[in-house]
Chains A and B, each alone.
Chain A
């Protein structure tokens, strides 16, 4: 099992030049090194330094709609989250395009990381600006996207909730967060009674791994932790990233009986690593998504679809002989 030559671009995108691909490899290696500096993680490895099998070890998968926002009526929660990208914290964000009658025309979902666009802007500025123009309809300047040489994830062209979207912008939605979480989750934990902590929210709480009420992080942590408990070495599958799994269309009805599965259009990433996709009625049909129903309710919100869009990340494991020692819970952070 060879050591990985280099990290691939997210979604196996082919837009980078050879130099750009090499530079991206250095970006991801840098993120791994940064995660490894948090603590010593003997079971979390950089696959460009350690040989790892090609097969998956565990797939964590969850719904795009944020677990922290499941309160209120369906209409309330859908409306609330549609109107605030800052609430879309499950490594997936979306934006809703409406017509003049407020009918939903198109909902675009993305799991693309800000780190990648920062990188693209560095190695191929024209390509980066082309993408912004293609997604938003206008070409930004570099100064719209960077401040003091720092890339701004929630930059002005990428801040809308009701139209264009380019990539993830919410503060927790970044590639480093996912890598660091996976690294930290290789540490086994026990509670004050000495019992192993394996339930996902408890693990996040005990390990100080972030917000326990999200769907994504607790599950990633639990899956990685279970592999670590078996003594395995663990890393994230290449191409490292978060990916859309598709959309569930059972229960959707269209006015003309068209198959709603055909309304889902992948835009970026390969078939197994989908980064961006939209859901829209084909232009030759005389209706909008609002005339499509889901379990009897017209589609009035993008978040109705987010209940049905999946997001995943893949960890891979190599059997090893680690004998991990469980550690007590980290003290709660003082506010």
Chain B
């Protein structure tokens, strides 16, 4: 059989697949492993253990759209089956813009529908803009293989393609390719995971029916009528599902004799930022008044969840800025929400931020979960985690200095998980002398050198830094430096797969504002990140 070879290894590979694939068979297209989609035979089909495969595909049911997929699941399950428990959610990067769906840009509204209610999380999760038409992406938990199986519709038929399993995200030649471009750890994505859930329908910001174009049948569909808030998505779907895969992954990586396979990939999630979540202030931008104090996201300044939440180090005070300075920053930098010819506010003399103020990236929950699992498994000791994360700690995401501590320093194997932390520390320490003054290796050596009782000395560093930030925030100049730093980090998100497609993810400053690559220093100042 002829297979059309597709060179693209991004998500776009699926768009380049032949339009006329047979819709009555499952195709396999694991980008990086497969040159293109090929039919899955009975043996391959039988290996799939998720409910989409066992209830539908293996019985010859290939639903053409999301509505029919869910109806087929209902038909294949008895009453009260957990797979009949449905929750629907709605998001869109333009969903919180004023006006109606008949005006302005594509709001990129899309539904997330979950099925199942296991304590560990849901079993099916689909994403579709329309229940009756268009692309359907599906993640289905496979209890046999462990991890989620990734499916999506392809071509005109449409045909269903198996795009891989969570484990493909972590290993060559498939890591970072196809769906794992934007799911780098094999987990589901809810990038705006935290309160107040920018871009999501929630109790903090409802997406009304008029966000859809007039007469749009989707507003009469049960998905819209039964919408749940993003708080439910966070607590009941996203976090349990990410934890579920993390636990399964660690169980698979434990070698049974005290060792641990592929520890480098785990370390990578601790010292680098394969992806990011987005967090904002809890205040609506347009409601901020000059005499308000706007509390900024703490995780912009420090990795609060890891350093304080997991390692017990000093938590920061509230970092806030005067409403007057925040409003002045919108004007001075010329922030607006733009997408092609669209601009909000339309009046070019006015400026605006995202619906909730100050959207910035923070360490992704999937990476936090991996850190916790590594601590729980004993692969990473609290001392190693603290020493690594205290390197360049004022830059909780996208730290080039911390990233320098992964390979070649991270050992490729861990015959003994218990000895791994010491071995990694020894390797970095061995390289520190040659690395020179000011190197990340030297900084690590300083951190490691404080010993097991790291809390007090690290707290002293953090506390001095927090005070420096508070001092800088007391001045408009200092805050504007942080606005530039925030924009620099947003640019890095825009370059990630999760940011590339969404112009309205963040507000943009005037085109002539080039933040460049910036970093925060321990003195609370901002400098170029060379």
Contact = CB atoms under 8 A, between A and B. Distances in A.
B322 interface: no
Interface in B124-165: none
A201 B284 contact: yes
Contacts of A63: 203, 231
B189 interface: no
A331 to B, nearest CB: 12
Interface of B: 96, 98, 117-122, 195-196, 203-206, 208, 229, 231-232, 235-237, 239-240, 243, 282-284, 286-287, 289, 295, 298, 304-305, 308-309, 315, 318, 350, 355, 369, 372
A205 B119 CA distance: 40
13 contacts: A62-B203, A71-B318, A72-B315, A76-B308, A199-B96, A199-B284, A212-B284, A215-B203, A248-B236, A249-B119, A250-B122, A251-B239, A307-B235
Nearest to A254: B119
Given A195-B98, A248-B236, A250-B237, A296 B243 contact: yes
B236 A198 contact: no
A67 B119 contact: no
B279 to A, nearest CB: 11
B282 A251 contact: no
Contacts of B239: 251, 295
A161 interface: no
B304 A73 contact: yes
Given A67-B195, A205-B289, 20 more contacts: A67-B196, A67-B282, A70-B282, A195-B98, A199-B284, A200-B205, A204-B287, A212-B283, A222-B206, A248-B232, A248-B235, A250-B118, A250-B119, A251-B121, A253-B119, A253-B120, A259-B119, A260-B119, A295-B243, A296-B243
A199 B369 CA distance: 34
Contacts of A74: 305, 309
Nearest to A258: B119
Contacts of B122: 250
A4 interface: no
Contacts of A193: 350
A251 B284 contact: no
Interface in A56-90: 60-63, 67, 70-76
Given A199-B355, A296-B372, A251 B235 contact: yes
Contact of A73 (B229, B243, B309): B309
A259 B237 CA distance: 17
Contacts of A205: 287, 289
Given A199-B286, A212-B287, A295-B240, A308 B235 contact: yes
A222 B206 CA distance: 9
B295 A71 contact: yes
A252 B119 contact: yes
Contacts of A73: 304-305, 308-309, 315
A202 to B, nearest CB: 4
Interface string A291-314: 000011000000000011000000
Interface string A200-211: 111011000000
Contacts of A121: none
Contacts of B206: 200, 219, 222-223
Given A219-B203, A295-B243, A250 B235 contact: yes
A226 interface: yes
B473 to A, nearest CB: 15
A213 interface: yes
Nearest to B206: A222
Interface string A82-105: 000000000000000000000000
Contacts of B235: 248, 250-251, 295, 307-308
B240 A250 contact: yes
B417 to A, nearest CB: 19
A286 interface: no
A332 interface: yes
Contacts of B96: 199
A200 B229 contact: no
Interface in A27-74: 60-63, 67, 70-74
Given A67-B195, A307-B235, A226 B309 contact: no
Contacts of B286: 199, 201-202
Contact of A72 (B237, B289, B298): B298
Contacts of B195: 67, 70
B231 A202 contact: no
B438 to A, nearest CB: 31
Interface string A218-261: 11001100100000000000000000000011111110000110
A222 B295 CA distance: 23
B382 to A, nearest CB: 16
B346 to A, nearest CB: 11
Nearest to B240: A251
Nearest to B297: A71
Contacts of B204: 67, 200, 215, 218-219
Contacts of B284: 199-202, 212
A248 B231 CA distance: 10
Contacts of B237: 250
Given A195-B98, A212-B287, A226-B208, A61 B282 contact: no
Nearest to B347: A193
A204 to B, nearest CB: 8
A250 B117 contact: yes
B340 to A, nearest CB: 23
Contacts of A201: 283-284, 286-287
A195 B346 CA distance: 12
B119 A251 contact: yes
A16 to B, nearest CB: 32
Closest 9 CB pairs of A and B: A251-B240, A250-B236, A201-B287, A201-B284, A62-B203, A73-B309, A202-B287, A295-B239, A248-B236
B208 A61 contact: no
A223 B205 CA distance: 11
A76 B232 contact: no
Contacts of A253: 119-120
Contacts of B304: 72-73
Contacts of A218: 204
A200 B98 CA distance: 12
A204 B204 CA distance: 12
Contacts of B205: 199-200
Contact of A71 (B203, B243, B298): B298
Given A62-B203, A253-B120, A199 B318 contact: no
Nearest to A76: B315
